Each structure stands twice: as C-alpha cells, then as structure tokens.
C-alpha cells in the first residue's frame, strides 16, 4: 500500500522557518526520522520511506501554497494513491501553538492550500492534520504573523510537538485515520 504525505508550505529562503511552513517542517522531520532526504521531483520535493511493508511518498509542493493542488493531484496519479491514503499537513491559526487535530475530511477552513487541493482533486474526502500556530498578533497583522518566523520560545515548544507529529503520521499509515484521531486528538 502507498500513502501520500503532503506537507504544505512555500518554497524559498524568505519562507523558511515561517509559521505557514509547518507542513514542510513536519515532513522534513518525518524524512529525518527515516534517515532519508528529499529530492527534486515534478511539482514537489519528494522523499520515499517504507514502514512495515507500506510505502510513504512525502512531498513538499514547489508550486507555492495557492497551487498545492496541482502537486497533490500529480503525485496521487503518478503513484496511484487513493484519496483515503492521503494526509495533508497544514498550519492553523485557530489552534493553540503545537495543538494537533487530525480529521478524516472537511472543509478548507479558509486555508489557501486546502482550497487549492479540494478544487483540484475535486473532493474534501482526504485526511488533514492541522497544526496550531497560535494567533498572537494584533488586528490587521495576520499575514505578517503567518508569514513570520518562529520565536525562540515557539521553536522550543514545537520540538516535542513535531516529534509527536511524526508518530501521528506513522499511526495514520499503520492503523488508519479514525483510530489515530481517537488516540492523538486527545493528547
């Protein structure tokens, strides 16, 4: 069985280590956990891993957030991966820093990456992991906050949450969305 693990973010040094790139950070940690690395592929950087006979194809779209759907559709088709085996990892302002919420399907929640994916693959029926980035910004400064870099305190707080995210991804692959939700959404 194959699984597509999609970390959403924006490419380029100006976006590295920003809150909006938490998806990239998560899949980088996953690849590091498996002692592999990303290679340049079509529409995305790609890393391949094997977990108990299952193949994980992790991607970081190179299309920028608003066009993430193109990369997701391409890799789903190229690798023949069903929507049930897709996990998209995104940042979420509505959740406290480091909070993890896995859902089996749902709306875009106003997230441009999810909007693109839903429109392009024409379904909302794919798993998504929302990682809280908090919302500690003054009115009118949401974009600056989301595209801002992590503070030292935030980085320190996120390290164990990213480690938990890697375990959550493995659980998604091994026991499925529902059982993984029951275990991790309560933590």
pTM: 0.95
CA atoms within 13 A on the CB side of 156: 3
- Using alpha carbons only, give the angle 164, 158, 64 rounded to the nearest 5 degrees: 95
- Alpha-helix runs per DSSP H in the chain: 22-33, 68-79, 112-121, 142-146, 152-175, 177-184
Count of structural domains within the chain: 1
**48: CATH:** 3.40.50.1470
Whether residue 111 lies in the annotated active site: no
Domain containing 118: what range? 2-184
pLDDT digits (tens, 9 = 90+) for 17-68: 899 999 999 999 999 999 999 999 999 999 999 999 999 999 999 998 999 9
For residue 187, pLDDT over 90 is answered with no
Question: What six digits make up the tokens of 68?
Answer: 């993430």
CA atoms within 13 A on the CB side of 84: 5
- The active-site residue, picked from 6, 7, 18, 20, is 20
- Dihedral of CA atoms 157, 89, 181, 162 in degrees, nearest 10, equals -30
User: With contact defined as beta carbons under 8 Å apart, do 81 and 4 qualify?
Assistant: yes
CA atoms within 13 A on the CB side of 67: 9
pLDDT digits (tens, 9 = 90+) for 121-137: 999 999 999 999 998 88
């Amino acid at each position: 069985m194959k699984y597509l693990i999609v970390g959403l973010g924006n490419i380029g040094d100006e976006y590295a280590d920003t809150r909006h790139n938490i998806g990239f950070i998560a899949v980088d940690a996953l690849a590091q956990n498996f002692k592999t690395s990303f290679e340049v592929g079509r529409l995305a950087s790609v890393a391949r891993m094997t977990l108990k006979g299952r193949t994980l194809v992790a991607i970081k779209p190179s299309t920028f957030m608003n066009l993430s759907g193109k990369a997701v559709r391409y890799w789903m088709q190229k690798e023949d991966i069903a929507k049930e085996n897709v996990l998209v990892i995104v940042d979420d302002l509505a959740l406290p820093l480091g909070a993890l919420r896995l859902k089996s399907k749902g709306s875009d929640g106003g997230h441009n990456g999810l909007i693109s994916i839903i429109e392009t693959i024409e379904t909302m029926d794919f798993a998504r992991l929302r990682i809280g980035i908090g919302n500690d910004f003054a009115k009118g400064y949401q974009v600056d906050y989301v595209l801002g870099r992590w503070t030292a305190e935030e980085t320190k707080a996120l390290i164990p949450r990213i480690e938990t995210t890697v375990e959550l991804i493995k659980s998604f692959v091994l026991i499925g969305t529902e059982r993984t939700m029951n275990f991790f959404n309560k933590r």
